[in-house]
Amino acid sequence: MEPIRAAIVGTGNVARLHAESLRELGEDVRLVGAVDVDGDRLTTFCDRHDVPARHRDLASLLEKDRPDLVHICTPPGTHYDLALACLEAGSNVLVEKPPTLSLAELDNLIEAERRHGAALATVFQHRFGTGALRLRAMLDSGVLGRPLVAICHTTWFRNQAYFDVEWRGRWDTEGGGPTMGHGIHQMDLLCAILGDWTEVSALARQQARRMETEDLSMAHVSFANGAVASVVNSLLSIREESYLRFDFERATVELTHLYGYGDDDWRITPAPEYADEVMAAWQAGSSGVPSAHRAQFAEVLRSLRMGTPAPVTSAESRRTMALVAGVYASAFTRAPVRPAELSTDSPFYRKMEGNGPRW
Ligand SMILES: NC(=O)c1ccc[n+]([C@@H]2O[C@H](COP(=O)([O-])OP(=O)(O)OC[C@H]3O[C@@H](n4cnc5c(N)ncnc54)[C@H](O)[C@@H]3O)[C@@H](O)[C@H]2O)c1
């Protein structure tokens, strides 16, 4: 079987994880080319990771190397144009989070997937650790009972210097602050476990940093299955943590980590009367895989081989992006928001900040 031909666009920080993860996946995939507008970065990256073809623009890569899969690792404001060009050339796309700056852009890419028969997947690696897979399987089996309450905290710290990088902290380049750029990972996992959300009430603040976007948001989110979640996205929290907690009828399940988890970062506390059955299911569940890029890439490659939609599919990432848009829409209109209100005539459909933030 020929290896899948992968390429990387943008050879900065996160691209290193992509190249290393692809290499770890062995003969199934080959990194055939890379693109960066910065020639020095491109050279250093390609030398370090043995990438044969080097390009200063995407068009040249698509024409000469014809990759099966293009990893987009550039700043968020560039994702849409680059992903569209790949889909139009018939190459599948694996784009770093956030996939686009707006729901409107994402819907255009979904339309392009249909037109050109290529697929768009988004990197949300925390869905792929075995802890999350085990939790989802237990929820589906009914052993945990109904989900009732959830907590989803991204309490991270970024000092003012972090926002000196030209594309950070701006609506037009990042599409938002910690809600869009950081907490989106945890909110995506929340949605992967709890499913469709039905209403969000939120606030957003510029609490301490000088930047265009929020540095803090807080939200209450209702889900179709009846669960309610409390969400915090902060870049002001000196003891940093990513924390998810799910209170089911028969157990509390918690995940505490920062940028990636292993099995040991999960904790389950069963209700005494269900302890045997819950703990038996927990111990029998899948284990051993941390929530790293590699775990997701393995699933992406498997899907490409089988001709099934690669995860996280555009439909799944759209639900998470709609929750992000819903947080901003609720915060800036000071009203609860339902998914249907984020339709094409909503200003929050075209831009995460709508007609402009209202602090
Ligand atoms: N999944 C994760 O855990 C995770 C972690 C970090 C970053 N990210 C995401 O990865 C993306 C990149 O972040 P980063 O920190 O690596 O950024 P970075 O600034 O370190 O690197 C971006 C690179 O893209 C290049 N570039 C910019 N525009 C380009 C274009 N049009 N064509 C080709 N190259 C271009 C730049 O020259 C730079 O080398 C962002 O979307 C970020 O949110 C995800």
**pLDDT value of residue 137:** 97
**pLDDT value of residue 76:** 97
Q: In terms of domains, do 116 and 177 share one?
A: no
Q: Which atom of ligand 1 is nearest to the CA of 123?
A: 1
Alpha helices in 177-236 (DSSP H): 178-181, 184-194
Q: In terms of domains, do 77 and 27 share one?
A: yes
Residue 97, ligand 1, Cβ within 6 A: yes
Measured in residues, the chain has a length of 359
For the chain, the average pLDDT equals: 98
Integer Cα distance of 252 and 328 in angstroms: 29
Cβ pair 154, 256 in contact under 8 A: no
Domain of 72, in residue numbers: 4-122
65 domain residue, yes or no:
yes
Number of domain units in the chain: 2
Pairing of strands 120-122, 266-270: unpaired
Q: In terms of domains, do 152 and 91 share one?
A: no
Q: Which atom of ligand 1 is nearest to the CA of 72?
A: 11
Integer Cα distance of 234 and 213 in angstroms: 12
Residue 237: CB atoms within 10 Å? 16
The percentage of residues in the chain with a pLDDT greater than 70, rounded to a whole number, is 100
User: What tens digit of pLDDT does each residue of 22-78 get?
Assistant: 999 999 999 999 999 999 999 999 999 999 999 999 999 999 999 999 999 999 999
Integer Cα distance of 49 and 236 in angstroms: 35
Q: In terms of domains, do 158 and 81 share one?
A: no
103 domain residue, yes or no:
yes
Nearest CA to ligand 1 atom 6: 14
Helix (H, G, I), strand (E, B) or coil at 71: strand
**pLDDT value of residue 24:** 97
282 domain residue, yes or no:
no
**pLDDT value of residue 85:** 98
**pLDDT value of residue 1:** 85
Phi, psi of 85 (to 5 degrees): -60, -40
Q: Give the end of a domain, one of 215, 248, 281.
A: 248
Q: How many Å lie between the centroid of ligand 1 and the Cα of residue 97?
A: 10
91 domain residue, yes or no:
yes
Inform me whether the pLDDT recorded for 297 exceeds 90: yes
Averaged over 219-234, what is the pLDDT?
Answer: 98
**pLDDT value of residue 164:** 87
202 domain residue, yes or no:
yes
State the sign of the Cα–Cα–Cα–Cα dihedral 228, 229, 230, 231. Answer: negative
Residue 101, ligand 1, Cβ within 6 A: no
Q: In terms of domains, do 183 and 108 share one?
A: no
State the sign of the Cα–Cα–Cα–Cα dihedral 18, 74, 184, 260. Answer: positive
Q: In terms of domains, do 79 and 163 share one?
A: no
Inform me whether the pLDDT recorded for 167 exceeds 90: no
Q: In terms of domains, do 150 and 244 share one?
A: yes
Write b or e for each residue in 1-14: b if 16 or more Cβ atoms lie within 10 A of its Cβ, otherwise e: eeebbbbbbbbeeb
Q: Give the end of a domain, one of 248, 282, 307.
A: 248
DSSP E strand stretches across 73-225: 92-95, 120-122, 147-157, 197-205, 216-223
For the stretch 83-88, contacts whose Cβ atoms lie closer than 8 Å and that sit 24 or more positions apart, written own/partner, are 83/109, 83/120, 84/108, 84/109, 84/112, 85/58, 85/59, 86/58, 86/62, 86/118, 87/112, 87/113, 87/115, 87/116, 87/118, 87/120, 88/112, 88/116
**pLDDT value of residue 165:** 87
Residue 139, ligand 1, Cβ within 6 A: no
Cβ pair 129, 102 in contact under 8 A: no
Averaged over 204-227, what is the pLDDT?
Answer: 98
Nearest CA to ligand 1 atom 4: 14
**pLDDT value of residue 93:** 98
**pLDDT value of residue 203:** 98
Cβ pair 255, 261 in contact under 8 A: yes
Q: In terms of domains, do 25 and 64 share one?
A: yes
User: What tens digit of pLDDT does each residue of 140-160 get?
Assistant: 999 999 999 999 999 999 999
User: What tens digit of pLDDT does each residue of 108-131 get?
Assistant: 999 999 999 999 999 999 999 999
Helix (H, G, I), strand (E, B) or coil at 96: coil
**pLDDT value of residue 2:** 95
Q: Which atom of ligand 1 is nearest to the CA of 259?
A: 3
Q: Which residues does residue 55 pair with via DSSP β-bridges, in sequence order?
A: 35
Q: How many Å lie between the centroid of ligand 1 and the Cα of residue 186?
A: 20
Which CATH number covers residue 156?
3.30.360.10
Q: In terms of domains, do 179 and 94 share one?
A: no
Integer Cα distance of 123 and 274 in angstroms: 36
Averaged over 134-145, what is the pLDDT?
Answer: 98
Q: Which atom of ligand 1 is nearest to the CA of 10?
A: 24
